[in-house]
Amino acid sequence: MPSESALRDRLGAGFELIETMRWEPDTGFLRGDRHLARLAASAEALGFAFDATSLENVLLSAVGGEVPLRVRLALSAEGKAEITTQAFVPLATDTVWTLRIAATRLASTDTLLRHKTTRREVYDRARAEFSREKADEVILLNEAGEVCEGTITNIFVDMGDGGPLKTPALASGLLAGVLRGEMIDKGAAVEAVLNADDLRGATGIWIGNSLRGLIAAKLVQ
Contacts of 20 (CB under 8 A, 6+ apart): 70, 71, 72, 73, 209, 210, 211
> How far is 87 from 221, CA to CA, in rounded Å?
34
Question: Does 107 score more than 50 pLDDT?
Answer: yes
Question: Would you list the DSSP string of 38-92?
Answer: HHHHHHHHHT----HHHHHHHHHHH--SSS-EEEEEEE-TTS-EEEEEEE--PPP
Q: What is the pLDDT of residue 6?
A: 54
Residues 146-174 have pLDDT tens digits of 999 999 999 999 999 999 999 999 999 99
Residues 7-44 have pLDDT tens digits of 555 555 579 999 999 999 999 999 999 999 999 999 99
Host H or E run for residue 198: helix 196-201
Contacts of 62 (CB under 8 A, 6+ apart): 71, 83, 85
Q: Which regions of 88-179 does DSSP assign to beta strands (E)?
A: 96-106, 137-142, 147-150, 154-158, 165-168
Q: What is the mean pLDDT of residues 135-145?
A: 98
Count the Cβ atoms, other than its own, within 10 Å of residue 66: 6
**Mean pLDDT, the chain, as a whole number?**
94
End-to-end C-alpha distance for the chain, whole angstroms: 37
Instruction: Return the amino acid letter for 188.
Output: A
> How far is 212 from 101, CA to CA, in rounded Å?
21
- In terms of CATH architecture, what is 96-219? Alpha-Beta Barrel (3.20)
* Residue boundaries of the structural domains of the chain: 4-87, 96-219
Sequence-ordered alpha helix ranges (H) in 1-46: 4-11, 32-46
Instruction: Read off the DSSP letter of residue 221.
Output: -
Contacts of 131 (CB under 8 A, 6+ apart): none
Q: What CATH number does domain 4-87 carry, 3.30.300.350, 3.90.1150.10, 1.20.1740.10, 3.30.470.10?
A: 3.30.470.10
What's the predicted TM-score (pTM) here?
Answer: 0.92
Contact 216, 206 (CB under 8 A): yes
